[in-house]
Amino acid sequence: MVNNVLVVGGTGMLGYPVVRRLCADGYAVRVMTHNLERARRIFGDTVSLVEGNVTDPQTLSEPMRNCDAVYINLSAKMDIDSYDTVEHQGAANLARIAAERRLERIAMISGLGVDDEDSPHPYISAKVAAERALRECGVPYTIFRCCWFMESLPLYIQGNKAFLVGKQPHPISWIAATDYSAMVSNALRTDEAINKTFHIHGIDKMTIREALELFCAEVYPNVAISSLPLWMLSLMSKFSRRSEMKGFLDFMKYFEHHSEPVVTDDSDRILGPALTSLRDWTVEYKKHMDKEPETVAK
pLDDT digits (tens, 9 = 90+) for 125-145: 899 999 999 999 999 999 999
pLDDT of residue 120: 74
pLDDT of residue 83: 85
- pLDDT surpassing 80 at residue 245: no
**How does residue 110 score in pLDDT terms, banded at 50, 70 and 90?**
very high
Secondary structure E strands in 62-181: 69-72, 105-111, 141-146, 148-149, 157-158, 161-165, 172-175
pLDDT of residue 16: 97
Distance of CA 297 to the CA centre of its chain: 24
CA separation for the pair 202, 215 (Å, rounded): 16
pLDDT of residue 86: 93
- pLDDT surpassing 80 at residue 149: yes
pLDDT of residue 254: 85
pLDDT of residue 182: 98
Q: What is the DSSP letter of 111?
A: E
Instruction: Confirm whether pTM is higher than 0.95.
Output: no
- pLDDT surpassing 60 at residue 295: no
**How does residue 298 score in pLDDT terms, banded at 50, 70 and 90?**
very low
- Calculate the dihedral angle through the C-alpha atoms of 78, 79, 85, 91, rounding to the nearest 10 degrees: -20
- pLDDT surpassing 70 at residue 241: no
pLDDT of residue 243: 65
CATH number of the structural domain 4-150+175-201+260-275: 3.40.50.720
The predicted model gives 113-119 an average pLDDT of: 76
Widest pairwise Cα distance in the chain? 54
Q: Which residue has the higher pLDDT, 231 or 295?
A: 231
pLDDT of residue 292: 66
pLDDT of residue 25: 98
Residue 65, phi then psi, degrees to nearest 5: -55, 130
Q: Which residues contact 47 (CB under 8 A, 6 or more apart)?
A: 10, 19, 23, 29, 30, 31
**How does residue 78 score in pLDDT terms, banded at 50, 70 and 90?**
low
- pLDDT surpassing 90 at residue 116: no
CA separation for the pair 81, 232 (Å, rounded): 22
pLDDT tens-digit readout, 152-177: 999 999 899 999 989 999 999 999 99
- pLDDT surpassing 60 at residue 207: yes
pLDDT of residue 103: 98
Residue 107: left if φ>0, alpha if ψ -120 to 50, beta else—which one?
Answer: beta
Tell me the percentage of the chain whose pLDDT exceeds 90: 74
The predicted model gives 144-149 an average pLDDT of: 96
**How does residue 233 score in pLDDT terms, banded at 50, 70 and 90?**
confident
Q: Which residue has the higher pLDDT, 189 or 113?
A: 189
